[in-house]
Amino acid sequence: MAVELSPKMQAFTQEVFPAIIGTNRKNGSVEIVPVWFEQKDGSFWINGGTNRGWFKHLQRDPRITLLLIDPKEMFRWAQVEGRMVNWAEDAGGDHINHLSHRYLKKDYQGPRTGRITIQIEPLRVTGAIDGRR
């Protein structure tokens, strides 16, 4: 069942830094990569190409863990365990452009085709922001 983010987490997730996402490879090992994200309406939204390894992993196993960490203060961090509840084609690249403005304050410079938007529902939040290890 999805959990509601605390006010502290709501504020923390508005800060601008990449999320580190962990997904399960078929061979049982973990893939971790940094990605742009946005938290909106209690869900986490990320964007990628359909050829990305992590998206293939999520289609097989929708469980995903996000590590959010303040790059200037490593003790400010949160771990969000969640699952992909939805994905959709990012037609025209509107969502990646939106993320580009959040992170770089300018239009997205890369290709806007073949992209998808993924919605992640949080199931469990731990870490220093909510004071739970």
Binding region for other proteins (CB under 8 A): 17-18, 20, 22-24, 28-34, 61, 63-67, 69, 71, 74, 77, 79, 81, 133
Q: Which residue lies nearer to other proteins by CB, 64 or 96?
A: 64
d(CA 95, CA 47): 7
Q: Which residue lies nearer to other proteins by CB, 53 or 88?
A: 53
CB 62 within 8 A of CB 56: no
**H, E, C per residue of 71-126:** CCCCCCEEEEEEEEEEEEECHHHHHHHHHHHHHHCCCCCCCCCCEEEEEEEEEEEE
Q: Which residue lies nearer to other proteins by CB, 88 or 101?
A: 101
Q: How far is the CB of 115 from other proteins (least distance, A)?
A: 16
Q: How far is the CB of 85 from other proteins (least distance, A)?
A: 16
Q: Which residue lies nearer to other proteins by CB, 5 or 64?
A: 64
